[in-house]
Amino acid sequence: MARRKLGRMKVRRPGAGVAARYLRVFPGRRLYYEPESLPRITSEELFGDGKPLELEAGCGTGDFLNALAERDPGANFVGVDLHMKSLYRAVNRAAERELENVLYISADFNIIYPLLEDVSLRAVYLHFPDPGMKPRQEKNRIFRRRFLDELHRALVPGGRISVMTDHDGYYEQMLSLLSGDERWEKCFGELSVDPGVKSRFHRLWEDEYGRTTHRFELVKI
């Protein structure tokens, strides 16, 4: 089943107060041409404190990120996605739990890099990204050379990237891209962080469709 069809859902638009608390919208044109006019993705600018910051690229409905935020109130969490209905659901659920340490951003992750500060992120999660295997979709993939370069800059020493994918072809491309890259310690198999909650796409691909999930982590050396 096409992922774009699975993205269709009925969801309640958050009220003005909830949206103001939990949701930021970074328009693509402004992000591309005037990134300096937007807040930097740091705990200081987004939360007003100095807690460790973790980020999920392609956070979807926020199931995984909200679970992390609820489990670890001593850190802050930011989710980035383009699908607004998914973000509405993430925001509504964060509000229902009265979470104080999570925020969602509507933005294209591939052009958000100028907002990342050096050595500012403790962890980054990339779970079940759209593989975009057609040639015309290649430019939209997240896991590329620039992704590795920018996140190596933005992660603290010992910071990590957690990756999951159900797509064999995309997984092989990821491994090929990592071949010879000595900036990372590579760990395959179970992830070091498991909040006991699966994201919507994790449930769909692994539980309902029985696909194999490839997992690995990259730890910044």
Q: Degrees (nearest 5) of the Cα angle 127, 133, 134?
A: 145
Distance CA 16, CA 43 (A): 23
Alpha helices in the chain (DSSP H): 3-6, 16-22, 28-33, 43-47, 63-71, 84-96, 145-154, 168-178, 200-202
| 81 belongs to an annotated ligand binding site | yes
Q: Characterize 99-117 residue by residue with b for buried, 16 or more Cβ atoms within 10 angstroms of its Cβ, and e for exposed.
A: bebbbbbbbbbbebbebbe
| 190 belongs to an annotated ligand binding site | no
49 catalytic residue (yes or no): no
Strand 184-188 to 121-127 pairing? unpaired
Strand 102-106 to 214-220 pairing? unpaired
Distance CA 188, CA 103 (A): 29
Which of 130, 181, 194, 207 is flagged as catalytic? 130
| 10 belongs to an annotated ligand binding site | no
| 194 belongs to an annotated ligand binding site | no
Which residues are annotated as part of the binding site for S-adenosyl-L-methionine? 56, 81, 108, 130
Which residues are annotated as part of the binding site? 56, 81, 108, 130, 134, 166
Which residues are annotated as part of the binding site for substrate? 134, 166
- Catalytic positions: 130
